[in-house]
Structure 1
């Protein structure tokens, strides 16, 4: 394996093949630097020298954080956005997040970043690149190491510092120098208040400092210090991190005047967080990371049209929390869970959400709560009409429906409209009135189908495969039936028809009335993963001679269990695969 120096040098060589470029490099003294480290630092500097300007800025900015600091990709990209490092020539052509993602990927490929094995999903700057970043920052990014509480001397901060990182208990000692840096861009205050520090004094110190920081764009601070916020008109990134449980808390109302704020991260360990009354004024907000319960308390959230992540929206009983709030929130992406759909009265109201225009949503979770019997009977057709009006964009990848009491599926899951969907996963749970299933088999990309707790479902007929049964479910990998207590029949065509060609996993549990289809053994024969439990009518008659009955292989591989008697099965296709294992 090549050492970091060799890898870096090779990556630098690959970055440009122009002869004039390398003649210029050869005239520099870069190769003569860092001899005391065997030329490693010189090689690293050479690699950094070849980076485009935007990559250089983004990499050096990471020197603000301590060595070994683990960060998520999304967080560091949002910091770059706030500092203006992504406002390059491509701004306006593509999203800044996409630009940042491209920069991050390039730095990762060039080994300036690496995945953190100790915390999956995070990254670190590897040694010795962290030393390079600190060297190149030249004091612009200044990190104050935590000092002893007995060291009460002043803290010197370079005049050129524009980004400062310090411990909360050093804030008072650093305040004199910080107050003279009026064009500070980033301030990170970390840690917990020690027993020797007065919370009230620290709150007042921070407040006075922030008043003079007119150019501040990034602020990360512990929650107890933010009782109030001055008007920071350039602030774009605010992270409030609470490391202890301080009970119920609220964001200061003054936060609603941060009209340029793009990112708000509020990590809270308490019981409940209340949001400010005028939170809707944060019209530039794109990323909100906090408890879902807190997001659901934001009145008129529909005015935050730039918001890209809300995760959970709960329909309320007035217009301030109505489903129409989603109408113009077309930048929402990732996952969206809509709760309280029993509050929506019909299709016209559901259409106001305009889910069909939200092309960036990948996962849509639609939930109804259980309602009284009287209300259910008086609104028998309402759930179906509501679901009909919640047709998503064709880009949707995963659909979850929970608590739906309608008696039939929506038309957009049938026929031609369904074939236009890119759905890869469908999960239906507690859909108590659903008697018939739509032709899921015609969905060209469907890989996962889960059916749970559907008490009115008595038969899964041939219509589920679509008009052309052999071509149904061309991509299905995983099929699950759970708690379908009234399901009696599951249609499977005879063995001469190749059905479910890519199925790899089948799970059937707590389906007490289900009788095994005659073709079931042929379906089971080549499956790598089978789990059957509490299904007394799927008995040993369905175990073919080509299958081996005995000890379970592995629960994750194959297990077929019946409560009385108990038996396990292993498809013959797996016999060779596990022959060498001892159980």
Structure 2
């Protein structure tokens, strides 16, 4: 499901009144008096926008940054940007105005997005790093450049100049609307090139500063030009092509700031890489390199070194510790084990995506078999940290090694799963103690725990994590109970996957135990919007409350004062691969007032799904072999069904507008589709929209 600006063509023209309503709603104007005083000038602005939804939305973003007065709005109407005749017709007027009204630093960032091909997905974190490396980000006292750049990213989304992907709860992926992409390309056409660089050999390149390679060719070659003529600052590869990086190529690119070869079939990097003294970003993500030359230490301006997903890279050169301005070292999903001592020298390092734990010395004490946990204590600017191989950690003496890191926002703690043996009792005790010592600072927003083999979750995994918005617990296979995280005040996204030892989810999940003193009223998961429960093969029961205790409490309280309010903001629930679960918690039908989507996949023991009074948009059921009945879901508007051979009754779906069935459901659905059709005609005076699909939608990230 995607949100954002609409794909705009002339067929999308709006009536003036509808356009005016879109304008003020996009600005969140609610005062009647304010609306009336601005209506006439607002109608004129909508007319200037050609009644196009995208133009209206970006203009609303411009107006929102001004005082809401007639004089200010008239100033916008008189802007010369509306009449820029040199622009192509499709991008003149409102779209160009939205660019002109941007602050200078946002103009650079917006134009930079033209380096991605039309319709290409743009990753927030990659874009932030590129902006930092290009020097677009202004310094703010007490704030890292990356945090400031992230503010720029969300400001462009807020202004409707970037279109977020709704599958990502935090909008960490986006695209550019095709017309805005055309605008950015037009305005940056002399400095930026996107496509196959082969034709450039026939054109003048002295103004060209950025090349983004996007081609279907298997091999690419840069045009033969002297380095005096070639002043490329950014070379970015977006296609899966073979590419040779040799001395002659690097000699041409002496002015490079950004060298992005991610995904290329590059096998080696020559020692002459050290001659690129201006280089700030080197991205070798997913390449075939097996080593890096020691000459990399000469790159004193290098800020970002991406080495993730390099399957053949097992060691880092000693010279890495000489990169005195390094801000990011990306090692995730790369089998690096042999690392240089002295990572503490990298004082500006704030993004360490891959910290293999170990500590055994080698090579005359200059390298070691992984880093010791204590070495993290010296890296005071850490913003993102991914720690791996934690099973090799010895409990250390620094209990507060993470607690004092005031910039830390993203924390990933991972252990390696043993395939041929099991961890010993001593190993279990050590890992529990190690994790207890790794308690995060209050400012952590994104937390991942993976492969943890302790029998209990860390003691700090409770309501004390006051800033956590995004939490993933993956393959914690030995914990018998889920942690008490229902009181996390800011949690918006929760994924629990691979908790194979859990047989029952009970009150402990929301932080309630029998006999505990609790307030008269409480809210469990107060801000949670996405909940994904996946791969829990032994889960049989799920309830948020102790039924006996709840009944006793309710006798003491007025009927209008429920003891526990549950999931008031939950929008989407995914329950996947829980074959023994017999029933959903009844609270889902009674209290989840915001629930709009429910997906049940491979939940083979569920026989009945009913009484979901508040589910409002989409219901997905697939591979539920025992499911016999779906009933009393009065507000749901769309139902998708796949591989449910025993589904014989579907009723009480009074708001249903669309029914999606896969091929395997045609015979089974003949039992209940006619009844749904009749109900739709009676209630809505039209036929139910029944269509066929090949697969269901994926879960959000």
Same structural fold, with TM-score higher than 0.5 when normalized by the shorter chain: yes
1:218 paired with 2:274, answer no
When residues 376 and 256 of structure 1 are mapped into structure 2, their CA distance, relative to the original with a 3 A threshold, is same
Contact 1:307 1:332 in 2 (8 A): yes
When residues 342 and 217 of structure 1 are mapped into structure 2, their CA distance, relative to the original with a 3 A threshold, is closer
- 2:565 maps to which of 474, 477, 501: 501
1:252 paired with 2:290, answer no
Unmatched tracts of structure 2, length 5 or more: 1-13, 15-50, 362-367, 555-561, 613-617, 636-650, 660-671, 674-701
- 1:234 maps to which of 253, 262, 278: 278
Contact 2:210 2:234 in 1 (8 A): yes
Contact 1:323 1:352 in 2 (8 A): no
Contact 1:340 1:369 in 2 (8 A): no
Contact 2:257 2:279 in 1 (8 A): yes
Contact 2:611 2:632 in 1 (8 A): yes
**Distance of 2:394 and 2:90 partners within structure 1:** 72
When residues 285 and 22 of structure 1 are mapped into structure 2, their CA distance, relative to the original with a 3 A threshold, is farther
Matched with 1:475 is 525
Matched with 2:394 is 345
| 1:203-227 per-position Cα deviation (integer Å, ceiling 9, x unaligned) | 34213224xx2x4322234535843
- 1:393 maps to which of 441, 447, 450: 441
TM-score with structure 1 setting the length = 0.68
TM alignment of 1:95-134, pairs within 5 A:
95-110=144-159, 112-114=161-163, 121-124=173-176, 126-127=178-179, 130-131=182-183, 133-134=185-186
TM alignment of 1:541-560, pairs within 5 A:
556=620
**Distance of 1:372 and 1:193 partners within structure 2:** 38
When residues 465 and 207 of structure 1 are mapped into structure 2, their CA distance, relative to the original with a 3 A threshold, is farther
* Greater C-alpha Rg: 1
**Distance of 1:446 and 1:33 partners within structure 2:** 47
**Distance of 1:404 and 1:193 partners within structure 2:** 38
- 1:326 maps to which of 376, 394, 404: 376
Unmatched tracts of structure 1, length 5 or more: 549-553
Matched with 1:207 is 250
Contact 1:72 1:122 in 2 (8 A): yes
| 1:115-152 per-position Cα deviation (integer Å, ceiling 9, x unaligned) | 58999923236336635643465x3446686447xxxx
Contact 1:186 1:219 in 2 (8 A): yes
Shift of 1:258: 1.6
Moved more, 11-20 or 45-54: 11-20
Q: Give the 3-state SS of the residue equivalent to 1:127 in structure 2.
A: helix
When residues 326 and 39 of structure 1 are mapped into structure 2, their CA distance, relative to the original with a 3 A threshold, is closer
TM alignment of 1:332-411, pairs within 5 A:
332-333=382-383, 336-346=385-395, 348-349=396-397, 351=399, 353-355=401-403, 357=405, 360-367=408-415, 369=417, 376-378=424-426, 381-397=429-445, 410-411=458-459
Contact 1:439 1:464 in 2 (8 A): no
Matched with 1:551 is none
Matched with 1:293 is 334
| 1:67-86 per-position Cα deviation (integer Å, ceiling 9, x unaligned) | 66653343333333222222
Please tell me the root mean square deviation across aligned C-alpha atoms, in Å: 5.6
Shift of 1:369: 4.7
When residues 351 and 475 of structure 1 are mapped into structure 2, their CA distance, relative to the original with a 3 A threshold, is same
Shift of 1:96: 2.5
- 1:273 maps to which of 313, 334, 337: 313
Matched with 2:129 is 78
1:314 paired with 2:356, answer yes
Matched with 2:107 is 56
